[in-house]
Chains A and B, each alone.
Chain A
Amino acid sequence: MMLLTEVYGLPVTGPDGRTRLGTVASLSVDAGAGTVRQVRVRRGPFRKEAAVSWDAVRSVGPDGVRLRADAAADAPRRPRDLLGSLVLTEAGRERGRVLDAAVAPETGRVLAVFTTRGELPPARLLGLGDHALVVRSG
């Protein structure tokens, strides 16, 4: 299990673990599917961002995110950062903000979302958009 806040800022390297490609800027989460879809990598002197599919990640550890040999840039999704998102129930009532999320590094599955109003299981996630993380009323 890893926390999103632990992954942000980690170095991203090639399959040899030595070729540094950039740092993790954020992770794009598909809330409806309950998985991490992309790693957004910040690189270069102008801090440009590129997206890499989570399937292209070979391993994640405290030392960094190591990509597979066949990793290629992915078409970037709209950057929707789970961290800090407003939480809104499907009934239209605000329920705090997202503080962190636990993710299984092997699969990218979201295991739990931690908010200012408590923990949310992944089964309650409906969608993450530009306004809020929408969750099932519980």
Chain B
Amino acid sequence: MDELMTARSLTTRPVVTLGGDAIAHVRDTLFDAEARWITGFTLTGRRLLSGPLPHALPWPSVHALGHDAVMLRDALGLIPEDALTGHRGSLRARVLGARMLTEAGEAIGTVADVVVEGGTSGRIVGFRIAADQRLVPGRSGHRRRVYVARGPSLTVAGRTLVLPEETVRHLADDLAGLTALTRGVRGPGGGGGTDTGPGAPP
């Protein structure tokens, strides 16, 4: 599995062609309606005071999502932003702060960030959540940030994400822990592996 990264960390990451030219910076990351895959990126100009660009980068034009840059084959892969976002706007904006529940209706927390896999897959592998006190007991008034794998059975219902209980049983403290979780490695007392393969990209 390639390196995991949060969607927030992608903002301001340079967009670079294989010819070595930086053509933009990432402004926002767009996902499909089921929060399975990255569908593309909206962009800003490269200069400090540059505003949003009218063009967006669709995922099929991405060569690789890297630790230091988003690589694309050439600038011809950009399309008008409206063609990518339509009227839905950014799903990330809708997912951030969304409630997360188990299938039994128990509150897990709220989504603080989306975790994606680097490389060529564009896969969403999990979420960083501000955990509910019942899920992760901690100091009063303090909501611990933990990572939970997306799993194959997540349901998106408006501003609510619903996860199976099995998925919520295994949490990670950081991205390294989530990487281990999604690879099926469990800590002491853990259960079986978490299936993270949501299928082939669209």
Contacts and interface: CB of A to CB of B under 8 A. Distances in A.
Tell me if chain B binds chain A: yes
Interface of A: 31-32, 80, 85, 88-94, 126-134
7 contacts: A85-B20, A88-B66, A92-B67, A94-B68, A94-B69, A131-B22, A132-B22
Contact of B69 (A85, A88, A127, A133): A88
B16 interface: yes
B123 to A, nearest CB: 16
Contacts, number: 72
Contacts of A128: 19-20
Interface in B1-60: 14, 16-22
B19 A127 contact: yes
Contacts of B148: none
Contacts of A129: 16-17, 19-22
Contacts of B67: 92-94
Interface size class of B (residues with CB under 8 A): 10 to 19
Given A88-B68, A131-B20, 20 more contacts: A80-B20, A88-B66, A89-B66, A90-B18, A91-B64, A92-B16, A92-B67, A93-B67, A94-B67, A126-B19, A127-B17, A127-B18, A127-B19, A127-B20, A128-B20, A131-B22, A132-B20, A132-B69, A134-B16, A134-B18
A90 B73 CA distance: 9
B170 interface: no
A24 B19 CA distance: 25
B22 A93 contact: no
B63 interface: yes
List of 5 A-B pairs having minimum Cβ-Cβ separation, nearest first: A92-B66, A129-B20, A129-B21, A127-B19, A131-B22
A18 B21 CA distance: 39
B70 interface: yes
B119 interface: yes
